[in-house]
Amino acid sequence: MRKIPRTMSTQHPDNACAPLWHNEKVIQGDAEVYEAYYAYNELGCQEVMWDSEGKDTDIRVTRKLLTAHGDYFKANMIGKDVFLTYRIPNPRVEVAERKIVVETLQNIAVSSDVASTFYKADVAPIFEVILTYTTDGKELLCLYNYYKKAIVGIEDIELAD
């Protein structure tokens, strides 16, 4: 039976001050990756929302988490014990962010390859997304169908005879 997470951390919510582990005013780059690890390991969060909306986000977060904190993630499998969920822009509403949606969806497949190599088993570390500004279930179906055809379906394309 699939574990349903009870707690979710968002990326650097509006704080009164910077966290003790960070010396800068703005959390960005690899500090965001550490923040996700900190939420899992120190705060006991079972799920981290990774925001890819409206900013330059690190799409290699899975690889960086597994590389930098391998011991923790060997004991806590991403996608089974702890969860990473992308928050993506709604391409129908945030038209300028459409390519970020594509890039983020492509990275879900890359994350699966990275995690499967790390765990030496088939692993889907990211299997759900949060679609912002959703007003109709059809938007989710469109996103699902796009993922199925454009991201998963790309493996069926033959480039040589």
pLDDT digits (tens, 9 = 90+) for 20-52: 777 777 776 788 889 999 999 999 999 999 988
Q: Which segments of 2-117 are extended strands (E)?
A: 8-9, 47-51, 83-88
Q: Name the band, by pLDDT with cuts 50, 70 and 90, for residue 56.
A: low
- pLDDT at residue 123 in the model: 93
pLDDT digits (tens, 9 = 90+) for 10-21: 876 666 677 777
pTM to 2 decimals? 0.86
How high does pLDDT run on average in the chain? 88
Question: What's the whole-number mean pLDDT along residues 67-88?
Answer: 96
pLDDT at 160: 82
Higher-confidence position of 13 and 4 = 4
* Cα atoms in the 13 Å half-sphere on the side-chain side of 8: 12
Evaluate if residue 53 carries a pLDDT over 80.
no
Of the candidates 54, 130, 107, 49, the one whose C-alpha atom is nearest the C-alpha of residue 82 is: 49
Strands (E), 80-151: 83-88, 129-131
